[in-house]
Amino acid sequence: MGFRIAVSGKGGTGKTIISGLILGYLLRKGKGPILAVDADANANLNEVLGVKYEQTIGGVREKLRTDVPPGITKNIWFEMKAEEALVETEHYDLLVMGLPEGQGCYCVANALASKCIDVLTQNYNYVIIDNEAGMEHFSRLTTHDIDLLFVISDSSIRGLQAARRILDLIKKLNLSISRSEVLLSQVKDGINPSLKKEADRLEIEIAGFVPFDENIFQSDLEGKPTYNLPESSPSVRELGKILDKTL
Ligand SMILES: Nc1ncnc2c1ncn2[C@@H]1O[C@H](COP(=O)(O)OP(=O)(O)OP(=O)(O)O)[C@@H](O)[C@H]1O
Ligand SMILES: [Mg+2]
């Protein structure tokens, strides 16, 4: 079973970029095979990775009622289609979850999807899951049995408060997450003392920070992938130090 890393946090903090950079880090370390999972309904991890996708797990699930031919079980059909939805590259694979819910009851379909993902993820050393902002979906399609959760905050008091809420929710929902680490993202000029004070008040230990990186900013403007930025990039360097410690 692959080591599962999930990335969550407030909207726009840098979850998708960090998911991509974690993938880049693991590839540099020769830790493949790796599966990247885009669990944001508004999928865009593929842009950070510079690949296109055609099908999503949500899309496969939608067709479960209508498209399964006779003589094949739903289970096997789903597994087949989920494998088709995988974007395979030389270095890693990408699975896009797509829309989590449609109309009607999806309990059976969701259970199938979950099981299917469990089966698929067994083929990888690492699985990196980029989540959408908030935590509601954590109990939905993808996320159970996480080995390491990164909660991303920006350099704002509200970002930290959102991180606190996520950490509290994990406890409340009794999710199976072995370890959580809070990271600050897009940090300019180090960690501000008032932010540090708020972190202490909220009993948040900050595992490290990823600086605001001009190279990410530029790549984003030019629509270029960022997961493979060189190690000379400040974000890659600093995240590398954090991952050396936490992984
Ligand atoms: N370290 C960084 N330096 C510079 N720009 C950054 C950095 N991290 C993220 N950004 C920029 O900030 C924006 C938001 O980043 P990203 O999409 O990764 O956030 P997110 O948390 O995944 O957002 P969402 O909640 O919408 O999924 C993007 O334009 C990205 O290029
Ligand atoms: Mg995102």
Where do the structural domains in the chain lie, given as residue ranges? 3-246
CATH of 3-246, picked from 3.40.50.300, 3.20.20.10, 3.30.930.10, 3.30.70.1450, is 3.40.50.300
Whether residue 85 contacts residue 116, with contact meaning beta carbons closer than 8 Å, is answered with no
For ligand 1, atom 23, the nearest C-alpha belongs to 12
**Choice from 186, 210, 237, 238 to test ligand 1 binding pocket (greatest atom count within 8 A of CB):** 186
Distances (CA, A) of 36 to 6, 48, 102: 10, 11, 24
Q: How sure is the predictor about 141, in pLDDT bands with cuts at 50, 70 and 90?
A: very low
Ligand nearest to the CA of 44: 2
Nearest CA to ligand 1 atom 29: 220
For ligand 2, the distance from its centroid to the CA atom of residue 96, given in whole angstroms, is 13
Nearest to 111, CA basis, from 156, 61, 69: 61
Q: How far is the CA of 99 from the centre of ligand 1 (A)?
A: 21
* CA angle at 73 for the pair 69 and 74, rounded to the nearest 5°: 85
Query: Tens digit of pLDDT for each residue in 47-56?
Result: 999 999 999 9
- If you measure from the C-alpha of residue 4 to the centroid of ligand 2, how many angstroms do you get, rounded to a whole number? 18
The best mutation among 8, 13, 17 to test binding of ligand 1, ranked by most ligand atoms within 8 Å of the C-beta, falls on 17
Please say if the pLDDT value at position 33 is more than 60: yes
Residue 28: pLDDT band (50, 70, 90) is very high
Q: Which residue has the higher pLDDT, 142 or 24?
A: 24
pLDDT, tens digit, 9 for 90 and up, residues 191-227: 999 999 999 999 999 999 999 999 999 999 999 999 9
The rounded Å distance from CA 72 to ligand 2 centre is 36
Examine the pLDDT at 22 and tell me if it is beyond 80: yes
Residues in contact with ligand 1 by the CB-under-6-Å rule are: 11-17, 40, 132-133, 185-186, 210, 212-213, 216-217, 220, 235
Query: Relative to the CA of 19, which ligand 1 atom is closest?
Result: 18
Ligand nearest to the CA of 234: 1
Distance 215 CA to ligand 1 centre (A): 12
CA 24 to chain centre: 14
* Average pLDDT value for the chain: 90
Q: CB–CB of 21/29 below 8 Å?
A: no
Instruction: Pick the ligand that lies closest to the CA of residue 226.
Output: 1
pTM confidence score: 0.95
